[in-house]
Amino acid sequence: MKGLSQYTIRKRIAMALLMILLLAIPLFLSGKPYLMNVFILIFYTSTMSMAWNLLGGMTGQNSLGHAAYMGLGAYVASLFVTKAGMNPWLAMVLSVVIVGGIAGVVFYPCFLLKGPYFTLVTIAFGETIRQFVINWDFAGKATGISLPFGAQSFAEFRFMSKVPYYYIGLAMIVGVYILMKIISRSKFGFALRTIREDEDVAAAIGIKPMRYKVYALIVSAMIAAMVGSFYAYYNRYIDPDLMLQTYSVEFVLPAIVGGAAFVEGPLVGGAILITLSEFLRNEFGAILPGINLILYAVVLLVVIRFRPVGLLGWYSQSKAKAFVDTKILKKTDADKEA
Amino acid sequence: MEIFLQACVNGLLIGGFYSLMGMGQNIIFGVMKIINFCHGEMLMIGMYLTFVFNTFFGIDPYLSIPLVALCMFGLGALIQHTLITPSLGTKSFTNLLFLTVGLGILFQNLALVIFSPNYRTITTSYSSITVHLGPVTMALPKLISFIALIIITIALFWFLKYTSTGKKIRAVSQNPIGAEVVGINSKRIYIITYGLGCALAGVAGALLTLFYMVYPMVGSSFGFKALIVVVVGGFGSIQGAFCAGIFLGLLETLSSLIVGPTYRDLTVFVTFIVILVVRQIIILRRR
Amino acid sequence: MDNPIIEVKNITKNFKGLKAVSDVSFQIEEGKITGMIGPNGAGKSTTFNMICGYYPASEGHIFYKGQEITHKKAYDYTNMGIARTFQIMKPLGNLPVVDNVVPSAFFGRYGAKSLKEAREIALEVLEFTGLYAKRNVLAKDMGTPDQKRLEMARALATKPEMLFLDENMAGLNPAETEEAIALIRRINDSGVTIFLIEHIMKAVVSLCERVIVLHHGEKIAEGTPEEVMNDPYVMEVYLGTKGGHNNA
């Protein structure tokens, strides 16, 4: 096969095997809801982390308010379902559109701010939304919203078993991963990386920094809203705590631990962190609350101290690979030989 | 009118805490250009230290201040030396940001594991004494804390302005390379700065303990308010942080008086975002 | 002048009351290399950045091919065929060299439609600028001469007609300067008009057909390199008068 190196072939086979494994897991674990829950948790946390990574890792805009977009998504979808009796799937789509719109319009001026100022304004923005929801009668104030329980129905996004949620979560993570892969190799992705490295350079070669940063945020917020709707349907209950800044941080950690420069970073980080943290919570959570978060913090500190480019940086042979799609380099080498 | 005055006094007091926290944060930012996202947790540790000294060793909260300051300085210096200084080399703002975020999570949850999520308070023989200052009533601990805040703030200004270490700190924040050229050991200054910032937050915690509950999450709100103070007052400007702290305290208490306590935080955050964005637009226009 | 591609008319820049550039006018002739010299603080970079849309001119007008561009933003320039380099090099440090140039191929006038196409253009430009061998090196790991080349490669990959070079030879040794001169000449030969700021006189003399001299924010001379070099006022500014008196 011309143009495909050994490396690429091996990578593809590994991917295919992983996919088959993930598809087959419910066959073995459907009787163990706890473990199924861990997988679903990994799916939506990693998806959120990928959403953050588009803005944070790829564009270099460190947001610490992404839980707000997820929360907002959950709220919009839940309100449509409970107050308007809308079909949950339609509500999810509407929620994605609305949150994307809110992010693009309301947050637009905040992109004038750079570096630490930007990060702070994202925190304040997240808190503002949370405080707003806490004070909003229609959305149940601090009590939150419960979604109706009832008979199992695909149309109603309501299932007795965790298996359907598992497959929907899997579809979500795979879909977002493919989207990120496409973005990373597209014109859009290159614009974002150029902005991350230097906005003046971006402007000098015809990239409008504001515009692309806002695009990145809109895509990111839309994914967050999708995850939020999924979260609401899965848990059947949401409250304003969903938007706490703590959660925003928890969505960032997988990307940083896995390697924010990689599309796969959030996936690797998410799988490792959540597996470990759920294990600890299960074993010691009753006697030592918070032990899983201590682990989060320790892993994060160790990675930043000793592997500044994240765990995936371990595998990249050259430093260059840490920041780009490996395929690009392989291709360039192939071109040279040709 | 009395309510208003009372609110102003409370606002000044809480603003004093924000100022002290903000000034510590600001020194750290000035010198290393990093935001210390675990600043609130330093306050929390200061509170727990005061609590421990009082409960287990019977030390008066106000007398334990030097002890708390010393412990916090040590902790800060250790963190700086083992974690922050090495990471400064990577020049990655993201990594430094999440380094301090990680420390914040670590401390919060360590406190949770060690002290449980229960709310703790300490009482002393003078806790319930109140003082009348004209129309305003004030609990004695609040008054003492307020006076202590003023003294510490003045001492901090004096330290930065007149001592040799203070001058070095200012030199490094103005021009790190220049400071290095004239023979200032910037790594040492980093350690002193971070230790000092943590000590200030710890002392703020100690001063707060007599009239505020101690619990693992107590720092997060204070930490973020301190950041607001720094940003509104201007990164690197100690005087700015001082004024912004007082302003924020007053804004909080007065807004809860006027628009109601539930909208207090909403008012604060919206004001903050608007100030940030408007100021940035002005800066860009002026170019 | 017969064929000006850029016309600068009476531009002035005030920074908080300080006049950095005052009432400067000149033209850049299409297809030629024009240089701008002047002592440090003469306002060269300010003028340069105003023409390139980095800060707005306080007064005056700038025209490109007869069209007014005074208030255009930097990112609007690319599609008109104007590109620039930065005096303080701004490599996209964490990206390999080839990926430093790929964005230009996407967003510039080549308008690459796919990554494959963009990379082909990028590699072509790297070949032209002599960076091909280093295409997979991280930009931040290269030395000054290569980073200066990369600045040019990135600008060239937008397919400009008009190229602005800001002190592209500062910090180069004589051999590297020779190479840079050769490269600039090659770029000019391919039909690109060049405007450059330079401190190295040798480069200015050997490259430029016209030279503009700035001093204290004002244009004090304009002409061929020889004319300018022999201008008494320019000599005074550069070398000082006998009494060390400087009346500018």
Encode pLDDT of A152-182 as tens digits: 777 777 778 888 889 999 999 999 999 999 9
Q: How confident is the model at residue C243 (pLDDT cuts 50, 70, 90)?
A: very low
Do the chains contact at B262 and A296, CB–CB below 8 Å?
no
Query: Which residue in chain C has the smallest CA separation from A60?
Result: C94
Write down the pLDDT at residue C239: 67
Decide if pLDDT at A337 tops 60. Answer: no
Apex A89 CA angle, A86 and A90, nearest 5 = 55
Burial status of residue B120 (CB atoms within 10 A of its CB: 0-12, 13-18, 19 or more): middle
Average pLDDT over residues A2-16: 76
Query: In C157-222, which ranges are continuous DSSP H helix?
Result: 174-189, 201-207
Residue that is written with structure tokens 């409970």 in the block: A82
Q: Residue A126 has which token pair?
A: 């997240």
What's residue B220's pLDDT? 84
8 Å CB contact of A205 and C119? no
Confidence of residue C246 (pLDDT cuts 50, 70, 90): very low
pLDDT bin (cut points 50, 70, 90) of residue A218 is very high
Contacts of B186-191 with C-beta under 8 Å, sequence gap 24+, read B187/B85, B189/B31, B189/B165, B190/B31, B190/B32, B190/B80, B190/B84, B190/B85, B190/B88, B191/B77, B191/B80, B191/B81, B191/B85
Report helix, strand or coil for C118. Answer: helix
pLDDT digits (tens, 9 = 90+) for A258-279: 888 888 888 988 898 888 888 8
Return the residue in A52, A111, A112, A307 with the most chain B beta carbons within 10 A, the one to mutate for interface testing.
A112
Chain segment C125-179, per-residue pLDDT in tens: 898 888 888 888 888 888 888 888 898 899 999 888 899 988 888 888 888 888 8
Measured CA angle at C215 (ends C213, C221), to 5 deg: 35
Which residues of C fall within a CB distance of 8 Å from B286? 16
Closest approach of B186 to chain C, Cα-based (Å)? 25
pLDDT at A314: 63
Separation CA B13–CA B140 (nearest Å) = 13
Q: How many CB atoms lie within 10 A of CB A11?
A: 14
B248-269: average pLDDT = 82
Please state, rounded to an integer, the average pLDDT across all residues of chain B. Answer: 85
| Measured distance between the N- and C-terminal CA atoms of chain C, rounded to whole angstroms | 28
- Quick one: pLDDT at residue B281? 84
The sign of the CA dihedral A338, A183, A62, A234 is negative
Question: What pLDDT shows up at residue B75?
Answer: 94
- Give yes or no for residue A220 having a pLDDT over 90: yes
Between CA B11 and CA B120 the distance in angstroms is 24
Q: What is the mean pLDDT of residues C22-46?
A: 86
- State if pTM tops 0.90: no
Q: How many CB atoms lie within 10 A of CB A27?
A: 8
pLDDT band at A317 (very low <50, low <70, confident <90, very high): very low
- Between B76 and A243, name the one with better pLDDT: B76
Please state, in angstroms and as integers, the Cα–Cα distance from residue B173 to each residue in B92, B168, B185, following that order: 19, 9, 13
Least confident of A327-336, C70-79, C221-230: A327-336
- Give the best-scoring range by mean pLDDT among A58-67, A94-103, B238-247, C208-217: A94-103
What pLDDT shows up at residue A329?
Answer: 47
Closest partner residue to C92 (CB to CB) among A185, A194, A261 is A194
Starting at the edge strand found earlier in the chain, the sheet holding C82-84 runs C82-84, C162-166, C193-197, C33-37, C210-215, C218-223
Quick check: B200 and B156 in contact, CB under 8 A?
A: yes
Q: What is the pLDDT of residue A338?
A: 41
In chain A, the largest separation of any two C-alpha atoms, in whole Å, equals: 67
Nearest alpha carbon to residue A259 among A71, A110, A57: A57
Q: What is the pLDDT of residue C57?
A: 83
For residues A332 and A314, give the distance between their C-alpha atoms in angstroms, rounded to a whole number.
Answer: 22
By the CB < 8 Å criterion, does C16 face chain B? yes
All residues of chain B having their beta carbon less than 8 Å from the beta carbon of residue A112 are 277, 280-281, 284
Mean pLDDT of the region A137-156: 78
Contacts C160 to A, Cβ<8 Å: none
* CA–CA separation, C42 and C49 (whole Å): 13
Name all chains with 3 or more CB-CB pairs below 8 Å to chain B. A, C
Q: Which residues pair with A153 in a beta bridge?
A: A158
Please identify which residue in the block is written with the tokens 């604060």.
B268
C-beta atoms of C55 and B287 within 8 A: yes
When pLDDT is averaged across residues A297-324 and rounded to a whole number, the result is: 68
C181-193: average pLDDT: 90
CA–CA gap between residue C135 and residue C126 (Å, rounded): 7
| pLDDT for res A3 | 57
**For residue range A31-41, what is the model confidence (pLDDT) as tens digits?**
788 888 899 99
Q: Amino acid identity of C198?
A: E
Q: Quickly tell me which residue has 């109603």 as its tokens.
A: A156
- CA–CA distance, A312 with A272 (Å, rounded to integer): 12
pLDDT at B167 over 50: yes
- The alpha-carbon gap from A160 to the nearest alpha carbon of chain B, in Å, equals 34
The Cα–Cα gap between B228 and B22 comes to 8
Question: What six digits make up the tokens of A64?
Answer: 């610490």
Domains, chain C: 1-75+165-172+193-248 (3.40.50.300), 82-159 (no CATH)
| Residue B52 banded pLDDT, cuts 50, 70, 90 | very high
As a whole number, the mean pLDDT across chain C is 84
In angstroms, rounded to a whole number, what is the distance separating the alpha carbons of residues C217 and C14?
10
Asked whether residue B258 carries a pLDDT value surpassing 90, the answer given is: no
Nearest to C216 by CA among C57, C58, C38, C51: C38
Pairing of strands C210-215, C218-223: antiparallel
Interior angle at CA B194, CA B193 and CA B195, nearest 5: 90
Rounded to whole angstroms, the Cα distance separating B166 from B107 reads 29
Q: C88-124 pLDDT, tens per residue?
A: 888 888 888 888 899 998 998 888 888 888 888 989 8
The CA–CA distances, whole Å, from C54 to A196, C76, C237 equal: 19, 11, 28
pLDDT-above-70 percentage for chain A: 91
Mean pLDDT of the residues in chain A? 83
pLDDT classification of A325: cutoffs 50, 70, 90: very low
* C235 contacts: CB under 8 Å, gap ≥ 6: C229
Read off the tokens for A1. 């096969």
Average of per-residue pLDDT across C188-217: 87
Q: Residue A236: CB partners within 8 Å, gap ≥ 6?
A: A146, A147, A149
Q: Return d(Cα C85, Cα C82) in angstroms, integer.
A: 11
The pLDDT value given to residue C2: 64
Task: Give pLDDT, residue A123.
Answer: 87
Query: Which pLDDT score, from 0 to 100, does residue A323 have?
Result: 43
List chains adjacent to chain A, taking adjacency as at least 3 C-beta pairs closer than 8 Å. Answer: B, C
**CA B142 – CA B140 distance, rounded (Å):** 5
Q: What is the CATH number of domain A6-337?
A: 1.10.3470
pLDDT of residue B72: 93
Instruction: Report the half-sphere exposure of C92 (CA within 13 A, side-chain side).
Output: 34
Q: How far is A197 from chain C (nearest CA, A)?
A: 5
DSSP string over B193-256: HHHHHHHHHHHHHHHHGGGS-B-TTHHHHHHHHHHHHHHHH-TT-HHHHHHHHHHHHHHHHHHH
The pLDDT assigned to A94 comes to: 93
**Per-residue pLDDT reduced to its tens digit, B93-151:** 778 888 898 899 899 989 988 888 888 888 877 777 888 877 778 788 888 888 888 89
Q: What is the mean pLDDT of residues B183-197?
A: 88
pLDDT digit string, tens, across residues A40-85: 999 999 999 999 999 988 888 888 888 999 999 999 999 998 888 8
**Interface ipTM:** 0.85
Query: Looking at residue A100, what is its pLDDT?
Result: 93
C-beta separation of C125 from C157 below 8 A: yes
State the DSSP code for C97.
H
Residues 154-183 of C with CB under 8 A from A: 154-155, 157-158
C111 φ/ψ angles, rounded to the nearest 5 degrees: 55, 50
Distance from C229 to chain A by nearest Cα, in Å?
A: 33
Collect all residues of chain B within an 8 Å Cβ-Cβ radius of residue A294: 105-106, 109-110, 113
pLDDT at C240: 64
Of A213, A191, A230, nearest to A47 (Cα)?
Answer: A230
Cα(C164)–Cα(C47) distance, rounded to whole angstroms?
12
pLDDT at residue C242 in the model: 47
